[in-house]
Every structure is written in structure tokens, then in C-alpha cells.
Amino acid sequence: MEIKALACELPSRLGLPFSRLSHADIAQEAVVRGVVGAISIKTVWRYLHADAIKPWNHRSWLFPRDPLFAQKAGRVLDLYFRIFLGAPLGPDEYVISSDEKTSIQARHRKAFGTGPMPHTPRRVEFEYERMGALAYLAAWDVHNAKLFGICDRTSGIEPFHKLVDLVMQQEPYRSARRVFWITDNGSSHRGESSVQRLSEWYPNAIQIHTPIHASWLNQVEILFSILQRKILTPNDFSDLGSLEAAILQFQTLYNQIAEPFKWKYTKDDLKKTLSKIQAYTDTANQLQLAA
């Protein structure tokens, strides 16, 4: 128990300039404090590995800090099930999920790799030259499984405007009653000014923001993950032209086989998720105050 209590100490309270304690640090401090005459690092690991609470571990986490998180997220989820403000969408109404994948580097490998051999995977040269970077701006028709996209040197309001034009100047979106654009809060389409701007560009376009720290609600992120696996891993492009060509070829191919995603996460699931987060946060705060 003394070893576990020591592992729960903040290093700053021990006069150590560390962010966390290693097993070796704990073993050394236990000897200095006289908890044990000697103890091995492996024994410390064994004690701590068996414990239910491991404060020496950590993971990055984004807490939902938007006071209207449930309301904003629920509006997005309703649109995925073709509902807006409690009413079903009509056949001439569409839902677009949009975002940009920024800083996609063209990495030209400094040496040729090797192909796979028996019991040996393909090998890719570690060193590379940076040949520049592109942003891929994409729009995904959620219910009709159509992918639109452009590449640009950077993201921003003007590149986003080009993407909107690409979609909204085509049928059926040009003549649609309403086209809902789901976006995050990135600088290209942030805040009420972006909502007004999109409405000025196209009166039948309605921008819907996801809550802050909720990119997992934006379906186009699924497309970006597929792009990352299929095209950008491993990354080996001689120049920006070949990188852009590969991305747009992927887009063309994907449109030939695309189907709507089987989205099953509902507002009820969201309520359960937020309840779990709140319960975890309350418990963690209580334990911290008690400590």
C-alpha cells in the first residue's frame, strides 16, 4: 500500500521536476523514505499493474465544454435521420457533411523501398524530402453517398467558398428547397458570420455547426480516415501534383462504390454518453478534492 500511495503522489510534492513517476523513480523514492530496504523495478511494476487505479498513466481527452453540447449535437444527429426541428425532411432537401483535411504533406522518400518477401513486410525508406503540403476540402452527401472535393494550397473562407460552389451549382442542390451544411468550428466556417455568409452565397443553404470538440459527429471525417489509410499511408509522392492527382483519383473511385454510412448513433446514445462523462467527471473531482 505504501508503494501504491507513493505512485499516487504528484512529483512536484516530492521535489522532483517530473510530470510523472516511472517505476524506477518509485523504487528509488521508496528506499529513500525507508518504506523498504531495497525493491526491484519489476516488483514495483507487479504491485502497480495489479491495481485498479493507475494515476501514473494518462491519456489525452477533450471534455465537452459547450453548455449547449447536447442541443447542437442532437440537431446534427436528427439531420442524419432526416429530421430537422422535429419535422421530417422532404425529398428535395439534402444534408451535406463538410470539412477540410489540412497540411497533407507530399513526402518524397530519399531512397527506394523494397517489396514484400517471405516473412518480411514491405519496407519504406524512413527519410524523406518535404515537397509541400495541400489541403483537401470535402463535402459528403450523407443520404445519397456522393463525395465532392477540391485540393488547395491552404484552407480558408475562399477555398471553402469554392467547395460550396462546386456542390451548390450542381443539380439537385441548386434547385433544392434546403441544403443543410454540417461543419465544425474551424476558421474557414466559424460562428454566426459564417452562417450568414453561406446564406448570402446560396439562400437555400443552411449551415449547422457541430459542438466544439465533436468532430466525431461529422460523417466526412470517416471519409478522411479512409483516405488516410488508402492513399496517404505510406506517404510517398514526388511533388504536389502527384499528391493532388492521387487524392482526386481516390475521390472518383470512391464515388463509383460509395454507399451511405450505416449511422446508428442516436440522441438516446448521446444522452447516455454525456451522462457517463458527467458521472466520471463528478467522481474524479470528488476524489481530487478528497486528496
Specify the CATH number for the domain of residue 242: 3.30.420.10
Q: Are 169 and 85 in contact (CB under 8 A)?
A: no
Same domain membership, residue 73 and residue 44:
no
> Would you say residue 244 lies in a domain?
yes
Same domain membership, residue 84 and residue 14:
no
Q: Write out the three cell numbers for 198.
A: 453561406
Same domain membership, residue 108 and residue 246:
yes
> Would you say residue 60 lies in a domain?
no
> Would you say residue 33 lies in a domain?
yes
Coil, strand or helix at 88: strand
The Cα–Cα gap between 85 and 187 comes to: 27
pLDDT tens sequence across 64-80: 888 899 999 999 999 99
Same domain membership, residue 237 and residue 149:
yes
Same domain membership, residue 15 and residue 102:
no
The residues near 35 (Cβ < 8 Å, ≥ 6 apart) are 2, 3, 6
Same domain membership, residue 6 and residue 102:
no
Same domain membership, residue 226 and residue 96:
yes
Provide DSSP, 164-212. HHHHHTSTTTTT-SEEEEEE-S-GGG-HHHHHHHHHHH-TTEEEEEPPT
Q: What's the domain count of the chain?
A: 2
Same domain membership, residue 91 and residue 221:
yes
Q: Give counts: helices (H), strands (E), the chain.
A: 9, 7
Query: At residue 249, does pLDDT exceed 90?
Result: yes
> Would you say residue 211 lies in a domain?
yes
Same domain membership, residue 201 and residue 97:
yes
Taking CA atoms, 143 is separated from 91, 96, 146, 180, 275, in Å, by 11, 9, 8, 12, 29
- Beta strands 178-183 and 128-141 are unpaired
> Would you say residue 62 lies in a domain?
no
Torsion of CA 233, 239, 244, 245, to 10 degrees: -90
Q: Are 147 and 140 in contact (CB under 8 A)?
A: yes
pLDDT band at 291 (very low <50, low <70, confident <90, very high): low
> Would you say residue 54 lies in a domain?
no
pLDDT tens sequence across 81-130: 999 999 999 999 999 999 999 999 999 999 988 889 999 998 999 999 99
Question: Judging by beta carbons within 10 Å of its beta carbon (0-12, 13-18, 19+), is residue 150 exposed, middle or buried?
Answer: buried
Same domain membership, residue 98 and residue 32:
no
Tell me the residue range of the domain where 32 lies.
Answer: 2-49
Same domain membership, residue 35 and residue 144:
no
Same domain membership, residue 159 and residue 77:
yes
pLDDT tens sequence across 166-219: 999 999 999 999 999 999 999 999 999 999 999 999 999 999 999 998 989 999
> Would you say residue 15 lies in a domain?
yes
Please compute, for residue 129, the number of CA atoms within 13 A of its CA located in the half-sphere on the CB side: 9
> Would you say residue 44 lies in a domain?
yes
Query: At residue 38, does pLDDT exceed 70?
Result: yes
Distance, CA of 70 to chain centre? 19
Predicted local distance difference test score (pLDDT) of residue 87: 97
Predicted local distance difference test score (pLDDT) of residue 289: 75
DSSP 82: T
- Beta strands 178-183 and 93-109 are parallel
Query: At residue 35, does pLDDT exceed 80?
Result: yes
